[in-house]
Chain A
Amino acid sequence: MFTRRSFIQLSLGSTALAMTPRLFAQGVAAHTVKPVARPAPSERPFNAHFVDVAASAGLREPIVYGGVDSKKYILEATGCGCAFIDYDNDGWMDIFLLSGTRLTGDPPGATNRLYKNNRDGTFTDVTEKAGLKETGWASGVCIGDYNNDGFEDIFCTYFGQNHLYRNNGDGTFTDVTKSAGLWNDQPRWGAGCSFVDYNRDGNLDLFISNYVRFSFEHAPVPGENVNCNWKGVPVECGPRGLPTGRHSLYRNHGDGTFSDVSKEAGIASATESYGMTVAAADFDEDGWTDIFVACDSTPSLLFMNNHDGTFREEGVVRGVALSDDGMEQAGMGVGVGDYDLDGHLDLFKTHFVEDANGLYHNEGKGNFDDVTRSSRLAVETRYICWGAGIVDLDNDGYPDLFMVTGNVYPEVERKLPQYANKTPRALFRNLGNGTFEELGEQAGPGVIEPHCSRGCAFGDFDNDGDVDILIVNLNEPPSLLRNDLRGKQNWIKVKLEGVKSNRSAIGARVLVHYGGKVQAQAVLSQSSFYSCNDPRLHFGLGASGNVDIDVFWPNGLHEKFKAVSANQLVTLREGSGIVPSKGWAKK
């Protein structure tokens, strides 16, 4: 990769022995990786078609987040996540959207919002009724039934104080942060989070990444130092130059309370990274959940579970912490999936402008190869990318890549119009040979509309057997991209209910075998950017009419299900097999 080193070592007559000075783009690890040439289009039809139906669905309130035309602090720029959650267990995905505020004070309407699915393509704002009204600098959301009562709970991270909302089962939530032992004595900047049963006791523990140690009193302002400039324009500062955050692991005692085990678990020793999205899954397939943290401008982290209540951090040696040239990248969002259908969980990480998003192929034991270039993802480096997923959008049996984009420096656009604040989504369809092809308008208007986006969640809000996308747009209403899938490709959704394992089955790994292929997915509490997907794992099957399913439950049980018919939601209860699914609309 060319860096300033390349120029310097050549230009000034040296013998190329210079150390590598990284081209720090004013506070962010930026690589000036230029896109590679695009191959010729495949001309294959793409049957997914995305239309933004947010307005007609009733999602009309803007997501307030910081300044609109300029941002004074990085706090205003990082944004927040969203979630598909079936909070009332009716089998229809409801929507939870986080929100921020403004430096000048809380504007009217700035609050997180819970939207109940009316099952007719529309949603009703039930935020107040649910007791989820909250204003502040929200970051991430992770979902999980931490008390195993059958109702999904919500944990939100914030700059300031995080919040644990216990689902009361009656359409309301109670903020139990303090009583649960999750109250911060000092304000912190919580970023990504994940419920995770790291010790396999059947109770969901909680991992929280922290981004930056930030205070308004001490934060530098635009232009104040070189970490506060971008291409000559004074901008909000950081994260470089700001102290790194401290990540936390809380053990669930099974009685509604948690205690901080960060130090004894080995998490606290990872102090050199700006943590962002968390994805907890069993990457090395040893039956114990590991924890991946995408980190900004610093090495990403992969905490491998030692099976004894502790973790060892191995991101660098396992090939997911840095670029393929060993350089730090601005890692924000995470997709977990199996792009090459080898039955192992791969990782996709989103990066900054002028850097390609990273695709990491899992060899099977949690060791990864950076296949960004060979997969042809490096054709696109124009955008800052955030929420993302490895998801089969056209049900052809090959998971695609989708990501949302948006600038962090709205003021730059005025001087450098090529760096627009609002930019389109990016969709890469899987060509089935280890490579991807970027699509634009072929995938529908919802993909090419420019927004300044952050989190996104993948799910089937209309229960029609495909994957829709919910997107956080800063200072705008959200997007709800309904997938109007054409054609007759088959699919199957798998919903898991833990019994000995945690009720949400977070950490479970599922293999679906179809047409000579095998695809792995995991039940995640968070992925994308600070967001949580529909927990029903969606598998496009192409022409296959039935599948075999392997479930690796978080507590170690392995179950197999043979010849399950396609085009349905299958709910599997640990130890009991297939049970009736809730509220599924039959076509």
Chain B
Amino acid sequence: MFRSPTLREGRLRRLTIACARALSPIFLLGTLVLGQQGNDGLEAITSAIRARHFDQALQLLQPRLEMNPKSAQLWTLRGIALINKNNKKDALSAFQHSLSLAPDYLPALEGAAQIEYETGGKDAVELLQHILRLQPHDPTSHAMLGALASRRGDCASAVSHFEQSQSLVNTQPGALREYSACLAALKQTDKAIVVLQRALAEGNADAGVRYQLASVEFLAKQPKDTVQTLQPLLQQNPVPADIVELAALAYEEDGNTPEAVRLLRQGILAYPHKLDLYLDFANICIDHQSYEVGVDMINAGLAAEPKAAPLYVARGVLYVQLAEYDKAEEDFAKADALDPKQAIGSAAEGLAAVQQNDPQGALATVRAKLAKRPNDPFLLYLRAEILAQSGPTVGSAEFRVAMESAKKAVALRPSLAGAHDVLAKLYLQAGQTEAAAEQSRKALASDPKDQTALYHLIQALRKSGKKDGIPELLKQLADLRMESTKQEAEHYRYKLVEGKSPSTEK
């Protein structure tokens, strides 16, 4: 599960968020204006600023400003002095005053842009774009615009700006991370890897960049490279938890379950309050059908974090695999009570009822939860799926509710591939083959390995007479099936057992 898009997507989100404010302020004293040549007063002011005697500079500026209140230059110098005294509010006012006198005065634009950038001001973008109108190739402005675009999730714009400031970005680890995170978000992982590898090779990278490279390699399904990249970081003592997690996942992806388990066990010992480590361990246990071991580890997690809703859900899932439905339901209810906003517990509760041979009960559970949370996409998807499974007649009330629930689920959560799948199935039943194809394609956009979506798409195309693309889709489906069969065989090479040492048995 997590070795497919789910974890990868989550990892990508975390990377992007972490990089949001990574770009360092660049415009420090870089645009100090020397003023008119041969002006002793100005020279004294700029000298004071260079010598970091900012109070002196302000004292020198005061009378000059009284004499020349319309000098954009003087106001800019005042702004520079103030910014270096960390008085950003007054500095910004000074720069803005300068710009009111000379709107295209570059030093004032740069100063104001820097402050707005640092403080998250709303005018940062406009100021930087103004600079670029005057200096279209200014790498600093491009880099800062790239960072801002990245922060607001506009990776396409971010990448465009970063590409125009690459020489600068390459020397800035924060910018590098942001740039590569956006490339990865745009599914240009190969390019992201090249960027990061170059930075590492040129010695411009810090541990964060190395970790970023490993993350992108993992996203690109290159677990061997991920492990290789992480090796220097794994020599630390202690190894940071996020590195433990990534390395373990990469080892597991690479088929080296014993090493993955060893790392996770050690990580859990070192960081007993890190929920992700327990969840990753549980995930491995599920994949290797080692449910009891998973339960035991989650128990340990709950001892450290007794109010961790995700751990209750994970344990509930494990109990379902063991057909211990009562315990599973207790855990899901507990998770729901601890964190009602997530609704994961409710959804899982509904699923457990289905698994227990009680579709009516499942529907009742889901309906009750939906009454309190009518816009929960998971619950809506569940309702659609349960109703669809009962084979409602097209046009019946149940069919309509199933359809509406699925539509609402995908509207609320477009990435919910399962909801797209059930909606596609309903459309197929209703003879709406174009709509079915559309939903299947959306599901595949979220998860290219969704065999159900592929199959529905094939059926939709066949029914609509659009057979040209079918052979390729059939091949994809066959390839996916073989791949998942091989992966299953790989997973089942190992089964986790309890033991004194954190080892696995084949």
Task: Flag whether A40 is at the interface (Cβ < 8 A).
Answer: no
Q: Which residues of A contact B418 (CB under 8 A)?
A: 5-6, 9, 16
Task: Flag whether B92 is at the interface (Cβ < 8 A).
Answer: no
Q: Are B459 and A34 in contact (CB under 8 A)?
A: no
Task: Flag whether B289 is at the interface (Cβ < 8 A).
Answer: yes
Q: Are B495 and A226 in contact (CB under 8 A)?
A: yes
The interface bits of chain B over 252-295 (1 if a CB of A lies within 8 angstroms of the residue's CB, else 0) are 00000000000000000000000000010011001101000000
Interface size in chain A (residues, C-beta < 8 A): 53
Task: Flag whether B91 is at the interface (Cβ < 8 A).
Answer: no
- Given A18-B6, A328-B481, answer yes or no on A231-B323 (Cβ-Cβ < 8 Å): yes
The interface bits of chain A over 1-36 (1 if a CB of B lies within 8 angstroms of the residue's CB, else 0) are 110111111111111111111101000000011111
Nearest CB of B to A310, in Å: 17
Which of B15-23, B71-79, B129-137, B343-351 participates in binding chain A? Answer: B343-351
Q: Are A14 and B7 in contact (CB under 8 A)?
A: yes
Q: Are B391 and A14 in contact (CB under 8 A)?
A: no
Q: Are A18 and B4 in contact (CB under 8 A)?
A: yes
Task: Flag whether A55 is at the interface (Cβ < 8 A).
Answer: no
Which of A18, A21, A372, A378 has a CB less than 8 Å from the CB of B5? Answer: A18
- Given A15-B9, A19-B5, A326-B452, answer yes or no on A32-B355 (Cβ-Cβ < 8 Å): yes
Task: Flag whether A542 is at the interface (Cβ < 8 A).
Answer: no
Task: Flag whether A317 is at the interface (Cβ < 8 A).
Answer: yes
Q: Are B351 and A6 in contact (CB under 8 A)?
A: yes
- Given A6-B418, A7-B317, A37-B359, answer yes or no on A12-B452 (Cβ-Cβ < 8 Å): no
> Chain A at the B interface: mostly helix, strand, loop or mixed?
loop
Task: Flag whether A325 is at the interface (Cβ < 8 A).
Answer: yes
Q: Which residues of A contact B359 (CB under 8 A)?
A: 34-37
Which of A10, A18, A328 has a CB less than 8 Å from the CB of B347? Answer: A10
**Alpha-carbon distance A232/B419, docked complex (angstroms):** 32
Q: Which residues of A contact B470 (CB under 8 A)?
A: 317
Q: Are B391 and A12 in contact (CB under 8 A)?
A: no
Q: Are A8 and B1 in contact (CB under 8 A)?
A: yes
Q: Are A325 and B452 in contact (CB under 8 A)?
A: yes
Which residue of B has the minimal Cβ distance to A322?
Answer: B455
Which of B106-114, B208-216, B237-245, B443-451 participates in binding chain A? Answer: B443-451
Central interface residue in A22, A34, A225, A367, by most chain B CB within 10 Å: A34
Nearest CB of B to A18, in Å: 4
Q: Are B2 and A14 in contact (CB under 8 A)?
A: yes
- Given A17-B9, A19-B484, A37-B359, answer yes or no on A373-B4 (Cβ-Cβ < 8 Å): no
Q: Are B1 and A21 in contact (CB under 8 A)?
A: yes
Task: Flag whether A374 is at the interface (Cβ < 8 A).
Answer: yes
Task: Flag whether B139 is at the interface (Cβ < 8 A).
Answer: no
Task: Flag whether A375 is at the interface (Cβ < 8 A).
Answer: yes
Q: Are B357 and A16 in contact (CB under 8 A)?
A: no
Q: Which residues of B contact A227 (CB under 8 A)?
A: 492
Which residue of A has the minimal Cβ distance to B321?
Answer: A4
Nearest CB of A to B35, in Å: 56
Task: Flag whether B302 is at the interface (Cβ < 8 A).
Answer: no
The interface bits of chain A over 35-76 (1 if a CB of B lies within 8 angstroms of the residue's CB, else 0) are 111000000000000000000000000000000000000000
**Alpha-carbon distance A367/B429, docked complex (angstroms):** 14
Task: Flag whether B204 is at the interface (Cβ < 8 A).
Answer: no
Which residue of B has the minimal Cβ distance to A376?
Answer: B391
Q: Are B344 and A11 in contact (CB under 8 A)?
A: yes
Q: Are B393 and A20 in contact (CB under 8 A)?
A: no
- Given A16-B415, A19-B450, A20-B452, answer yes or no on A35-B391 (Cβ-Cβ < 8 Å): no
Task: Flag whether A450 is at the interface (Cβ < 8 A).
Answer: no
Which of B36-44, B170-178, B308-316 participates in binding chain A? Answer: B308-316
Q: Are A15 and B413 in contact (CB under 8 A)?
A: yes
Which of B320, B390, B451, B484 has a CB less than 8 Å from the CB of A373? Answer: B390
Q: Which residues of B contact A376 (CB under 8 A)?
A: 391
Task: Flag whether A241 is at the interface (Cβ < 8 A).
Answer: yes
Task: Flag whether A319 is at the interface (Cβ < 8 A).
Answer: yes
**Alpha-carbon distance A5/B6, docked complex (angstroms):** 11
Q: Are A37 and B390 in contact (CB under 8 A)?
A: yes
Which residue of A has the minimal Cβ distance to B421?
Answer: A325
- Given A6-B418, A16-B418, A37-B359, answer yes or no on A11-B316 (Cβ-Cβ < 8 Å): yes
Question: Which residues of A line the B interface, CB within 8 A?
Answer: 1-2, 4-22, 24, 32-37, 225-227, 231-232, 241, 272, 299, 316-319, 322, 324-328, 367, 372-376, 378
**Closest CB pairs A-B (n = 3):** A326-B455, A373-B391, A14-B6
A-B contacts, 18 of them at CB < 8 A, read A8-B1, A8-B283, A11-B313, A11-B316, A17-B417, A17-B446, A18-B6, A19-B447, A21-B287, A34-B354, A34-B356, A272-B478, A316-B474, A317-B462, A318-B462, A325-B455, A328-B481, A374-B393
